[in-house]
Structure 1
């Protein structure tokens, strides 16, 4: 999959806003063996590419005759509107390992009759050749019971993957549901008022 890009000739907030209005996304291509290049990529073509290869999938970007093998390292989106402000594309050479964040998804929750499934980690940081990187790691919790936990070390990462996330960290846990205490019964009886000075003798 190849995406065409053009070098940015103007930078700054107003230039970026103008580019987005024209359907272009400001992006930066950089890497260990690559000088940083500021480019503009077509928004629709970018979305089409990511839909095909996945968010951490590998694709090529061609800039003025030079081809870069890249993946999305970071993406800045608008808080409310579906607008991509900027994309960081990490370039790499064949066989080179880089740091990537791989999403972790939970499956099989419907198989748990009792207990609440809590996911503590949503992605793993690994050192891997991008072409070998999985799109995601799946944790099946269908056989778990209350009190069970899944740690990072329990996930099969695959060959050639160097784990950077703490392997002792909890990914998923199953806890007992909280039992709500019944409210105390209300009574219509009112406490007798205390008469101040009732037991005192009056002296004349």
Structure 2
């Protein structure tokens, strides 16, 4: 699955709702010569998202979209994507579920990173659920987005051991460190011929 590469990098939008640590790692990755993407747009549903600061730091256009009315919100986002010639969306801790309609109307690819080894633990509270089930390991998954929650084709996964004394916070921290490495690897994988 090759998106247009060449000397021009693929224009990418990153959708966030919180701290934006995956956004930061994607921006750093996009600056590398080998990276096939450039981060051109940051979209959030949360005007207090800490990750918005990376838009200012790296001079990337930011859009805050109010999701009170999902249909209007998604129309606004699609317009922004078109205006900015975005071909790839990376969801990075974006806490809204995109509609089937949105996914069909966006003509590029949509990727998501999820903090579990899908198909296990779709949705929220993944770390606590893995600990409660006494799993030996958890991890993270980068996958294509389709209209079912956390169900698109898996691109890459990374396993992380669960320690006896792990809390959901300590496990989340270790998994997040792996997410920062996995997302760029998954992007390289889908762009490689």
Greater helix content: 2
TM class by shorter chain equals under 0.3
Give the TM-score normalised by structure 1: 0.24
Structure number having the greater strand percentage: 1
| TM-score, L = length of structure 2 | 0.24
